[in-house]
Structure 1
Amino acid sequence: MTLKGGPKTIEGKLISSQNSLKHGLTANRWLDSEEEGRYQDLMNQLIDEHEPSGTLEYIQIERIANCKVRLERIQSVETAMYLQAQRRSEDPEQFVESWGFDMEQDRLVLDAFGRELVGIYQAPLGLNDPEIVKEIANQNIGRINSMDDFQLLMPALHKHLMMECIKRNTTIGNYIDQYNKGAKKLPAVSKFLINADYELELDKLLKKSLYTYDTSYIHDYIKIKSDEYSMSEGLKKLKTDYFEQLELAKAAATPSNTDMAKIHKERVATDKQLSKAIGELLELQERRLKKERLIKMSH
């Protein structure tokens, strides 16, 4: 050992680091019994292959096994980080955020999208009828100036509204008022009709509903149904796009740059330690064998 620069020989370097090494080899450093078992297996394999002699060679064997297990741990951590990134890429909220939705302001949309993804989304009242959907998609509010216009131009939606009012025993004006506040605010269904009852009940409804609504009510109702239709169609498109992009998103998912930098730094450092430990073990053994040959030759 020289006075300047610390120990220079392999023996000197190993002796000077034995205290820290002793701490590093305690069972506390292993994450679980599986990892500790892997270390012991590597130790046994290395001892069988290299037949170390003396404390210093055993220390190098321990270092090699230690570095190898830590490299395997780093690989496991990296794999887990990629799996986490893939799971994050599957998050529907992240997907809809990429479309410009706001997690707070658009909570109703996001909740509906979540229900659509798991197959429990229920279409708004009437939107499971293709005829109503067709009328809403092609509606022109400007041409509807009375209930007669509404019935003539949108017969399926008109009948749906009338049936809803009759079944819930409420006026047209009250129904639209309540529907404006949300379908859950509507009165409960209290009547069940058969086809023969409809015309009679419709006549009663129209008489009962006089002065409870005007043209603006009809316009409001059509606008609400149009918004519901847009929402329903939008959710279908979102769902289609989500599943189309899902595999691409998963394939492209990577951990954060910070996490990747930590993994890279740890892997490089451990690789260097492993290479150094292997080189020093081989050098120690070469020197020992050379010494043994010289002793034999001298005899």
Structure 2
Amino acid sequence: LMLMCGVAAGFGAVFGTPLAGAVFALEVLVIGRLEYVALFPVLLASVAGDAVCSAWGIHHTIYHLEMPQGAGQHAVLEAGLLFKAALAGVVFGLAGRFFAFLTHSLQHGFAKLLPRAVPLRPVAGGLLVIALTLMLGTRDFLGLGVHAPPQGQVSILSSFEDGGANPWSWLWKTVFTSVTIASGFKGGEVTPLFFIGSTLGNTLGTLLQAPVALFAALGFIAVFAGAANTPLACTIMGMELFGAPCAAYFATACFMAYGFSGHAGIYRAQRIGIAKHRTFPQPAAPLEKPGGFSPKPPPE
């Protein structure tokens, strides 16, 4: 329970999304199962974390999403646009799956290449990142990538504008981030996944002749939904960050991404409660709950 509260508080505080933080803590530990016993504690922790940040004068990034014409307090549904959001959700899920696969594969590769020289793994990863930066001739893919002070630099904010990302920005950010994390550097893959998703959404919006800003927002939340296996939390995050009128599009993209991202997400400790597909074997025994106890079977 304390672990879940810590996750909720951190998520709500860092991203300014207390409701999404609470649901994320309920959803992330076990795929396909929510821990309702912790509903109130995680909500309280997430709201408190966000309140503490606000009390210290810390401000979160504001994302501007232009709403479709006629949008009010409810989601505006357009069949063609909803289909495009579903199609993009499939791509977002595959992108999240690729990120997890590449990161885990590179971790195995670094361990095999330097089995005993563990301190040298970050050195090798750092040199590889430097080499990639020099090869590409840009610093677009270093750091979190939220803001872009230099003119023309790709960032999360720029991806919400037409021409604000290159067609392969998402792929290079995937490579840079996977190399960094796999070689031993820690510090978070969440915001880089937002970058990957928003730039991929920018590209898909252009290809599908859809609103670029909306699809950047869809990618922002859906790639992380697929990589972390948390579609509900990411749908709520979309509403907290971008507004509720496009909630149906957020849910469509996140749910599709979740369905196509596989079971091996970015968190190795994540367990499978209910498999996404029938072809995947279900757990043979009840999973142990985060509080350290297993649920008793119902009386026969």
TM-score between the two structures when normalised by the length of structure 1: 0.18
TM-score between the two structures when normalised by the length of structure 2: 0.18
